[in-house]
Structure 1
Amino acid sequence: MSESAEISFQIDGHIALIGINRQHKRNAMRQDMFEQIGAYVAQAQQKARVGILFGHGDNFSSGLDLGEHKERTPIDTLHASRAQGAIMNQLEQGQIPWIAALSGATIGAGFELAAATHIRVADESAFFALPEGRRGIYVGGGASVRVARLISVTRMMDMMLTSRVLSAHEALAANAVQYVVPAGSALAKARELAAVIAENSPISNFAITNTLPRIQDMSHDDGLFVESIMAALVQSSPEAQSGLKDFLEKRARRLDTPKSA
C-alpha cells in the first residue's frame, strides 16, 4: 500500500483501492487530495481491472474543505472546479469500472465523487446531502450533471434548497445508490462486486461504462445505431469468442438467480 498525504492506494490482485484518509476532518477534501486521487486513478487503469473508492474511518467524505474554499477568489474557484471535473471524468470515462463504498457522511463533493463511479454501495450509516444553498455556494464537482441524472433535477433542487438529508435507504429509493448493506460492510460488499466484475472481459466492461452514458445523450435512432456498432466491435474481440465458447460448452459461471426462480 502507498500513501500520499491523506489518500491511500493499494493494488490487490485485479482490484485497485483508493481510500480517503483525513478522518479528523470527516474526510473533507482539499484540492491536492483531488489531484492525488486523479494520479492514483491513472495508475489503477494501468494495473487493475476494477477500482474501489472508499473512506477510511466512519465517513466517506463530508465534502470540500470549506476553510480552503473560503480563501478562493472566483477565478480560483472556476479553475478548481474545472480541475475537479477532469478528475471525476477520469473515474467516469476511464478504462476500468469503479465502485464507491459509502459510509457516514457523503456530502457535497463527497456525493459528487461517489456519483462519478459506476456502482455505489452504501452501508446503513451512510447519509447524503447537498447543503450548498445553506453555505451560500454552488456545487462544482459535476453534481449538476451526474447527481441530477441519478436522482432527478427536482430532487437535487430540493436537497440543495432545503439541505434535506437522505438516509441510505432513501438514497436507494432515489437511485443514488444500487446497494444498501449493514453498517460497516460497504467495503466488503464492494470487494465482492469488484471480484465479479474483474472476471468480465475488459473490453465488455469498457463498452458498458463508456457507451451506456453517452447513448443517454443521443437521439433514439442515434443511440440504437451506436449500440449496434459497439455490439459488432465487442463481438469481434478474442474475449467474446472465448466467453461464448465457454457458455456453449457449459464452462461459464452460472447466473446467481433468485431462490424462487
Structure 2
Amino acid sequence: MEFENLLLELANNGVLTITINREDKLNALNSATMEELNSAFQRVYDEPEIKAVVITGKGQKAFVAGADIAEISELTQMNGRKFAERGQEIFAQIENCPKPVVAAVNGYALGGGSELAMACHIRVASENAKFGLPEVSLGLIPGYGGTQRLTQLVGKGKAFEMIMTGDIISAAEAKEFGLVNHVVPVEEVVNKSVEIIDKILSKASVAISHVIDCINLAASGNDGFQNEANAFGNCCGTEDFKEGTSAFLQKRKPIFTGK
C-alpha cells in the first residue's frame, strides 16, 4: 500500500520506522493520516518480518504539532464523539501492539502529538521537544486518550495541571514528570530509539508480547495479577523459555527463535 502522509522504512533488523510526512503542516494529524497509521499498524500486526516500530516526525521541528484544526473546527456534537472514538481505536491499536513501539519525539508533540507519543510503549525525546495538551484553549479536551494516558504516566495532580492550563513543557520537564524515558540531542533521537529496540529484540519475543499485555492491563486500573500468572505459565511452555534457562545454566548467550 502506498501512503501519502507516512514514510515507511524497514531495516534489515526488522525495525520499521514510520515517519509522519507532513513537515509543512508540522506533521499535524488529519483524518487521512490517522487512517494511514491504522493501515500501517495492520501491517505491523500481520507481517512477521516486522519486529518493532519507531514512530517519528519529518524534520527537526515537530514530531506531531497537534491535530488538523481546520478539520476539527467543522465537528458537531454527534460526529465529534465518533471522531474521538476513531482516534482512540487507532491509538489503542498502537498501545496494544504485541511488538515494541518507541516514539522518537523530535520536536513539538502537542495535542494529538502528545497523545500519539503516549500511546507508544517508550518515549525518547530530543532536547528541543515540547509536550502539551492545549485543547482547552480551543474549547475542547484531549479526545484520543490523552486524559487517561497522561494520568497514568504523570499522576492525577500533574495531569490536572497540564490539561486544565494547557501549558507546554520542555523535554527535561517531561522526563522529570515521567512522561518520557530519555532526552537526547535531536540528531540522536532515532538512533537512541533503535538502540533501545535492539536491546529488546535480543530478548524472547513471546515474553516481550506478554510484558506489553500485562503492563497495559495494570495501567488501565484492572487487576492484572491473574493475567500475569497466565502469561507466565504460557511463557513456560515456549521453546524460548527452554533456550533461555538452558543458556543461563550453560553460561552462554541464548538464541531465541520466537517460538
TM-score (norm 2): 0.91
Q: Is this contact kept in 2: 1:122–1:180, CA < 8 A? A: yes
> Helix, strand or coil for the counterpart of 2:16?
strand
CA distance in structure 1 between the partners assigned to 2:113 and 2:79 by the alignment:
20
Q: Give 4+ residue runs of structure 1 displaced > 6 Å after superposition.
A: none
2:222 to 202, 218, 224: 218
* Equivalence for 2:65: 62
Give the equivalent residue in structure 1 for 2:7.
8
Q: 1:105-254 to 2 correspondence within 5 Å?
A: 105-216=108-219, 217-219=221-223, 223-252=224-253
Distance in 2 between residues matched to 1:27 and 1:36, nearest whole Å: 13
What residue ranges of structure 1 are gaps of 5+ in the alignment?
A: 254-261
Q: What CA distance in whole angstroms lies between the structure 2 residues aligned with 1:163 and 1:72?
A: 21
Contact 2:56 2:103 in 1 (8 A): yes
1:256 maps to: none
RMSD (CA atoms):
1.5
3-state SS in 2 of match to 1:81: helix
Tell me what 1:259 maps to.
none
Tell me whether 207-216 or 53-62 shows the greater mean CA deviation.
207-216
Give 1:140's aligned amino acid. G
Structure 1 residue matching 2:64: 3-state secondary structure: coil
Task: Return the letter of the residue paired with 1:164.
Answer: D
1:29 deviation in Å?
A: 0.7
Moved more, 44-53 or 98-107: 44-53
CA distance in 2, matches of 1:231, 1:7: 37
Deviation, 1:249, is 1.6
Task: Render the CA deviation track for 1:185-215: whole Å, top value 9, x for unaligned.
Answer: 1111111111222222111111011112213
| Letter aligned with residue 69 of structure 1 | I
Equivalences, count: 249
Correspondence for 1:257? none
Q: What are the superposed Cα offsets for residues 205-239 of structure 1, whole Å, 9 maximum, x if unpaired?
A: 110111122134234xxx33332222111111111
> Which amino acid is the alignment partner of residue 131 of structure 2?
F
Secondary structure at the residue paired with 1:145? helix
Deviation at 1:154? 1.9
